[in-house]
Amino acid sequence: RVLVINLHWTMTAFWAAVSPLVDPVTKRRMMFCGADFANQLEGLVGPDHPYLRYALRVRSLPRQEAAGIPLPLRSPFVPGWPKAVKGTTTPSRQTTAASEADLIHATL
């Protein structure tokens, strides 16, 4: 699901022009909100969600003060690909076998 908050009026006009061309399933997954995003966002994530709390806090502050507020962490997920790129981990045989099978299937 995509939720866009605090969008400029030009984005609303752009979406109005483009949305008839977008698949209905995709349209249902997209939500555009202006400054009145709090109620819609609370319905999706709950009042204690870090991004909702961040957005409400930033909206209540003067622009210069709000610019210094750090974004909340994106996710607790820690990607493993940097270690693989550095060569500090080696793929298991099972992972390699699955990759080879996928490659063979893709070439058929």
24: burial class by Cβ within 10 Å (0-12, 13-18, 19+)? exposed
Residue 41: inside a domain: yes
Tokens 């493993």, residue located: 80
Alpha carbons within 13 angstroms on the beta-carbon side of residue 56 total: 14
Distance CA(51)–CA(62), nearest Å, equals 18
Residue 20: inside a domain: yes
pTM of the model: 0.52
Cβ atoms of 2 and 29 closer than 8 Å: yes
Mean per-residue pLDDT of the chain: 77
Structural domain for 47, as ranges: 2-66
Residue 81: inside a domain: no
Residue 26: inside a domain: yes
Q: Is residue 29's pLDDT more than 80?
A: yes
Residue 49: inside a domain: yes
Number of domains in the chain: 1
